[in-house]
Chain A
Amino acid sequence: MDNLNNLSIQDEPVASPASEPRKQKKKKVLLMGKSGSGKSSMRSIIFSNYVAKDTRRLGATIDVDLSHVKFLGNLTLNLWDCGGQDAFMENYLNQQRQHVFSNVGVLIYVFDIESRDFDRDLLTYRSIVQALAQFSPTASVYLLIHKMDLIPPVQREDLYNHRVSIVRSKSATFDPTPFATSIWDQSLYKAWAEIIHDLVPNLDQIEKHLGSLGKMIMAEEVLLFERSSFLVVSSWCSKEIFTGDKDNPAQNPTYDRNERLSNIIKNFKQSTSRYTGTPKSAEQFSVFELKMPNFCMFIVKFTTNTYLGVVLPPGEERFNAAMENCYIARKEFEDLDSPAKKSADRGATSESLETA
């Protein structure tokens, strides 16, 4: 089950370059950075249900590990996990330059905060960004300053800010979005949820629907999770949590709650998988209900690719009605989630990704 070294799912030796004129919903995502910076680790945690400590067993990536991740709304990520050893980097920048850097939707560049030779990392980054500017000038760039857990907590913020400002200045025409991350806490989910959020195609529609569902059931918050990564791909917050000031509804003060919740559930899925002896990639639960004196919530299996989370004010009646309405709304969302549902392989593809 846990064949850790067999991470590469479909090692298409080289993806056909003339691939996607009509299926624009495929997005090419480059995951780059120095060898050992943690690229494969984060990929396997987010997309293959690894826990942080499993990543210690990952070997260095040889060349590019290509995987396809199916998301809701017919989005497919073509994730290029690019081995970071010098020889490979050379190769991407020279012989493979056009092949690697053309049609890129997103570049995620990972810096190891503990790297002993930051200057050198910067040089490499610069060359990569230049290549990207040449072949995919409209790509988005995300910087992950990674392994933050290794830095004593009091120094984290300063060091992070310092590194980011330097990297920014070497980013050519791009305006990268930075994150401080660690596989040991929810910060990784925050970064990836934002990246994915920027990529999901019919998100406007999904968000509109979530909003009307939320209003109807009087929810405080509605969250849509991708079912295997448990990333929050879309969320809606009520504007009717009244305060004295009508124009200024109250907000849950925990600003990082979405990624925390992803992290909590992902971790609990590990426990349930251990407990039931079923693979981590299997759907681990169908309903979760929680009723507290000051709020209640449920998370239910929703559409093919999603779970729905709902936070409500307390009250038995409201809770039951909301749950029923969500089950009714399922159908509508199912259509948004996977218009091409008939294709029999969709379930299978995302399954195989999770290193079954």
Chain B
Amino acid sequence: MPVLHTGRRRTKLDRSYNGPPRQGPVRHISPAQLNLERVYEQNRINIQKKDATKAPEPAPGPAAKGKPRLLLMGQRRSGKSSISSVVFHKMPPNETLFLESTARIQKDSMHSFMDFQVWDLPGQLDFMDPSFDLDAIFCEIGALIWVIDAQDDYIEAINRLNSTILNLQPSYQNVNIEVFIHKVDGLSDDYKLDIQRDIMQRIQDELSDHGVENAPITFHLTSIYNHSIFEAFSKVIQKLIPHLATLEALLNDLCRSCRFEKAYLFDVLSKIYIATDSSPVDMPSYEICSDYIDVIVDVSEIYGWERPKEYIEFLEGPPWNKKLDDQVACKNAESVIVLTDMKRPIMLREVNQYLALVAIMCEGSHEKMPSVTMNVEATVTGLSEVFEITKHRK
């Protein structure tokens, strides 16, 4: 079932209790329920596996590009588990205060437009221990995300990052290293940039002292309390997407033909954008589109319950005498909201079960929705094809 249709949060139905949900999105689940979910998840994975047998199995080993792995590393309490909970499990940021220190490697599999894994590594893990099987961890790696707590003394974190890079360099030269300068909420803009400059300098100096130049390192300023963490992940993930250029070209065409200001292709579950048109990304437009997805998901969760079959029969009977499927114009989710200011509408269109197209339109577009819808339809078809290809090629 597409994420947009089912919502993502579990609700407990109980009328006697007039209060906040007793369970957050992920962590606060009773053991029994957790177990149920595990069983469910297992089944789901098994079913997926069965389905997958129809398509050729991906080759094993590092060549299995289908399932890149993102490693979250860094000092204890730097915020790794918080990041993975907020981005991939929709935990509200303030609930991360209840997270306990991670004792063992947490492996999460994300089944989305592209399957990938997120590994949350405990801060105190010592990789340089010779008994440690580096290969097992780094073989399928797509990106190494190093999280640095910007509100703390970061010298030790940088030293460890440097030695990790130097250690990995000989065997894994092409690993993207993404440094998240994290918890920058509450820091002034100037201070943020100062820190970033300082951290970059320290890493470059150390690496070039060891003769390593041009290692693929990217820096991001992040916080779980705003969209920056999603933006950063978007950029990390985009590097791993095959056919990115094709996706971008399709979005460019759409923006041109419909005079859209900006269009994003989103992974609905994580709200990472996996492609956008070539006009510059600005945080405000990303935020509003991302928040709009939340609205749709949340609203669908509330009203998307399964109607009884007698009711459906009634709706398909006279005077319509048509299957519900034939009464709707589009089988996927569609939505539009007209903002009062400048009459600017925002539209959303589901692409497939994982992806949604969200665009900021220009003034007056709401009156021309039929023609916009046609163009969007064409783009959606194009986008879906790209993902079909990717899936089958592996």
Q: Which residues of chain A have a CB within 8 Å of any CB of chain B?
A: 145, 148-149, 152-154, 156-157, 160, 178-182, 184-185, 187, 190-191, 221, 240-244, 250, 252-257, 260-261, 264-265, 267-268, 271-272, 274-278, 282-295, 297, 311, 313-318
Contacts and interface: CB of A to CB of B under 8 A. Distances in A.
Interface in B71-100: 92, 94, 98
A290 B338 contact: no
Contacts of A154: 22, 28, 30
B315 A313 contact: yes
Interface in B327-375: 327-344, 366
B191 interface: no
Contacts, number: 193
Contacts of B299: 261, 264, 290, 297
Contacts of B62: none
Interface centre among B94, B298, B330 (most CB of A within 10 A): B298
Contacts of A244: 308, 310
Given A154-B22, A287-B337, A314-B328, 11 more contacts: A149-B94, A153-B22, A156-B19, A182-B20, A187-B19, A241-B308, A254-B11, A271-B288, A284-B339, A286-B338, A315-B320
Contacts of A287: 336-338, 366
Contacts of B310: 242-244
B19 A294 contact: no
Contacts of A277: 341
Majority DSSP secondary structure for residues of A touching B: mixed
Contacts of B245: none
B314 A242 contact: yes
A289 B349 CA distance: 12
Contacts of B366: 287
B20 to A, nearest CB: 5
Nearest to A147: B20
Contacts of B21: 153, 185
Contact of A276 (B20, B304, B342): B342
A178 B331 CA distance: 44
A333 B67 CA distance: 56
Q: Give the interface centre of A152, A153, A285 by most chain B CB atoms within 10 Å.
A: A153
Contacts of B287: 271, 274-275
A261 B300 CA distance: 10
A276 B344 contact: yes
A157 B22 contact: yes
B28 A292 contact: no
Nearest to A268: B295
Interface string B283-303: 011011001101110111111
Contacts of A264: 294-295, 298-299
A286 B346 CA distance: 12
Q: Which 4 A-B pairs have the closest CB atoms?
A: A180-B19, A315-B327, A276-B341, A153-B28
A287 B369 CA distance: 13
Given A285-B339, A315-B320, A316-B328, A254 B288 contact: no
B284 A275 contact: yes
13 contacts: A149-B20, A156-B22, A184-B94, A254-B13, A256-B11, A265-B295, A271-B291, A276-B340, A278-B340, A287-B338, A293-B333, A295-B304, A313-B315
A228 B141 CA distance: 49
Given A153-B28, A243-B311, A286-B338, A314 B327 contact: yes
Contacts of A283: 340
B303 A278 contact: no
A250 B315 CA distance: 14
Contacts of A256: 11
Contacts of B337: 285, 287-289
B54 interface: no
B24 interface: yes
A244 B305 CA distance: 17
A185 B17 CA distance: 14
B334 to A, nearest CB: 5
A326 to B, nearest CB: 15
Most chain A CB within 10 A, of B22, B299, B311, B344, is at: B299
B23 interface: yes
B15 interface: yes
B324 interface: yes
Nearest to A180: B19
B302 A179 contact: no
A315 B308 CA distance: 17
B339 A272 contact: yes
Given A254-B302, A295-B303, A180 B344 contact: no
Nearest to A292: B333
A290 B333 contact: yes
B329 to A, nearest CB: 5
B13 to A, nearest CB: 6
A65 to B, nearest CB: 26
A341 B155 CA distance: 66
Interface in B21-58: 21-24, 28, 30
Contacts of B19: 145, 148, 156-157, 160, 179-182, 187
Quick one: which of B98, B285, B331, B335 has the most chain A CB within 10 A? B335
B272 to A, nearest CB: 18
B221 to A, nearest CB: 19
Given A156-B20, A241-B311, A290 B339 contact: no
Given A242-B314, A274-B287, A180 B324 contact: no
A213 B32 CA distance: 45
A291 to B, nearest CB: 5
Contact of A185 (B20, B291, B304, B306): B20
B276 to A, nearest CB: 16
Contacts of A318: 327
A255 B303 contact: no
B210 interface: no
B311 A274 contact: no
